[in-house]
Structure 1
């Protein structure tokens, strides 16, 4: 997966891809496997991208552990690479363009030599970043951006306090930056429990860090005695989480979650008239919504912020090349729950 593809040469008909054939623990010898499969055909609005770098997200781990592989499933929900072919209706990109994207949950992923991806959920790769550093951003950027601006309805005039639970993770790491750059009057409190994660969160621009290892509500209210206006969480399934959020939130506040609790008691939100939101960045592509192109616009906007030096990559661990052992190592790091920022793998 490291040779250069010259656009004047015919594209191959087959390629190497890495995925899973059964739901295995990450340390099983066949947790991820490599196979030779056909190069995908592009639809009218699709790009064929030669993949140069990928990153691993919690969704990769969840899919590998629980989702039906239907024989063989290619994972990978972040990618950066070069457009080598395009569908007949593509209007946003040309062959040779450098792009980055998060793909679609119901399509084969980026852990392959080539990937077909819809142009409307693809952005221009930040010119100032390497392939690896660009691949760290798309999924978490779209999640954070949609949570902040579509769900919490923040604007550049918003005034209040935002709590980010698990701020050292992939989504939290970019959300801190977007909130501080695009909503300068918003106070950002991040949660972290280790010295290295506290340092990381502060380096990204958080105004304060509190410990989430103990009584979360007590820690937050010590920093914000009047409570917070907005809460972002990837940990609503944790025992006692909802009661803590109700204690922390101001009346009429908003909470947005991205995790998958088996049960969720939201009745306790009523006394403060709190609003609960779900953020799922794959919803637009999964349901082919009329506004799918918003993800193209978001990725381009963030690429501008990166190239202006206002937002930086969240990559903290870089592996090379893109192969099965390195993808297993990345899955192991993400599954540990102790990863800071993003783990990326590239052919650089």
Structure 2
């Protein structure tokens, strides 16, 4: 069954979920051997990969992945760390770019150095800052825009502490967005919304966003069908949406392999100091032994609670085979 309770179509059953992770290349298709060599991909190579929504996912010991979504890993990055990057990292990357906070490398800069501007005088609001995508959004924004004011919404003292560790300037309660100040002038330049845009929440975002500001909606739910755009219209704001699967569904219009690679480069350059693995993740049932994932208090319980800090990963492999680590959120 799908999340909404409808059955999976017969032609997609059994349906395997999971769309990002890391592992070791076991084989290479004969039609992409040259492309694999050109992209430094070879059998036995450690890689990170983004899944394709048109194929079965990565909750499996083996997965077929398009080479255009695969990135080779340096030895300094372990598979658990690498698995946090493709799905959540790309979503964060593309969301930041869509609101105008560019991350991409520039040919005019010294090779290997990303473009950075300070972000002085600008404010970014991240709604839902402590989850997997929120963690990567905060890390990337604070790494590349050191003077940017980053505000994360949180729901607990632990989440607040986590967001500040990631580089947030401050945090507010989920229900206190209006306290930032709004009206015709607003108070926030950029908004990345990682929660369903309910009528109440979107009304608050419309209130606090500045004229000509930008809002990126990452979660689609029933609320997105009936957004009140009236105040947004009179502020001449931009509202966009984000899903990493749009690219592969439309002929790979984005170079997501490079996006993933740039995130790893930020780590190599010391711009990002750590990967946002959930605190104590190894102690959660199912992370190191997928057969325990459905236990009470296991990884699936933690995910469904909606209160996970950082990124959870789950190793899906036989006991003696530690090659494959798959992301689960």
TM-score above 0.5, yes or no: yes
State the alpha-carbon separation in 1 of the partners of residues 213 and 23 from structure 2.
40
Q: Of 124, 130, 133, which aligns to 1:162?
A: 124
Structure 1 pair 331/102, CA: closer, same or farther in 2 (3 Å)?
farther
Q: Give the match's secondary structure for 1:85.
A: coil
User: Is 2:229 the counterpart of 1:270?
Assistant: no
SS of 1:179's equivalent in the other structure is helix
Separation in 1, partners of 2:244, 2:67: 16
In 1, Cα distance between equivalents of 2:287 and 2:92: 27
Residue aligning to 1:68: 8
8 Å Cα contact 2:131-2:310 kept in structure 1: yes
Q: 1:320 to 1:232 in 2, by over 3 A?
A: closer
Deviation at 1:340, TM superposition (A): 0.9
For structure 2, which runs of at least 5 residues remain unmatched after alignment? 103-115, 323-329
User: What secondary structure does 2:150 align onto?
Assistant: strand
Q: Which runs of 5+ in 1 are unaligned?
A: 1-21, 24-61
**Hey, what does 2:327 align to over in structure 1?**
none
Shift of 1:322: 4.4
What is the CA distance between 1:286 and its match in structure 2?
1.8
Equivalent residues of 1:126, 1:306 under 8 A apart: no
1:121 aligns with 2:69: yes
Matched, 1:288 2:251: yes
The Cα shift of 1:194 comes to 0.4
| Aligned residue in 2 for 1:330 | 299
Structure 1 residues 242 and 313, CA, compared in 2 at 3 Å: closer, same or farther?
same
Distance apart, 1:185 and its partner CA: 2.9
- Say if 1:327 and 1:107 are closer, same or farther in 2 by CA, change over 3 A: farther
Alignment equivalent of 1:315, drawn from 277, 281, 286: 277
For residue 84 of structure 1, report the CA deviation from its aligned partner: 1.6
Kindly tell me: are residues 321 and 180 of structure 1, through their superposed partners in 2, closer, same or farther at Cα, counting changes over 3 Å?
A: closer
CA contact (8 A) 1:81 1:131 kept: yes
Tell me the equivalent position of 1:298: 259
Deviation at 1:236, TM superposition (A): 4.0
Structure 1 CA distance, aligned partners of 2:75 and 2:143?
19
Contact 1:121/1:285 (<8 A) preserved:
no
Deviation of the 1:282 alpha carbon? 0.8
Structure 2 distance, partners of 1:282, 1:273, is 28
Structure 2 distance, partners of 1:283, 1:339, is 26
- What is the root-mean-square deviation in Å for CA atoms of aligned residues? 2.2
Q: Distance in 1 between matches of 2:86 and 2:6?
A: 23
Distance 1:321 1:173 in 2: 22
Distance apart, 1:153 and its partner CA: 2.0
Determine helix, strand or coil for the equivalent of 1:342: coil
Distance in 1, Cα, partners of 2:92 & 2:65? 21
TM, length-normalised to structure 1: 0.75
> After alignment, is 329-338 or 126-135 more displaced?
126-135
Offset at residue 137 of structure 1 (A) = 1.9
Alignment partner of 1:144: what SS? helix
**Is 1:210 equivalent to 2:163 in the alignment?**
no
Partner of 1:49: none
Aligned partner of 2:200 among 240, 254, 263: 240
Q: Is the Cα–Cα contact under 8 Å of residues 126 and 134 in structure 1 kept in the other structure?
A: no
SS of the residue aligned with 2:293?
helix
Q: How far apart are residue 230 of structure 1 and its match?
A: 0.2
Q: How far did 1:133 drift?
A: 2.0
8 Å contact kept, 1:126–1:304: no
Determine helix, strand or coil for the equivalent of 2:211.
Answer: strand
Match of 2:308 in 1: 339
* 2:24 aligned residue (82, 88, 112): 82
Work out the number of aligned pairs and report it.
281
* TM-score w.r.t. length of structure 2: 0.79
Following TM superposition, where does structure 1 have runs of at least 4 consecutive aligned residues deviating by more than 4 angstroms? Answer: none
| More helix per residue | 2
Q: How do 1:51-200 and structure 2 match up within 5 A?
A: 62=3, 68=8, 70=10, 71-87=13-29, 88-89=31-32, 90-91=35-36, 92=39, 93-149=41-97, 151-155=98-102, 156-157=116-117, 158-159=119-120, 160-200=122-162
- Separation in 1, partners of 2:128, 2:148: 18
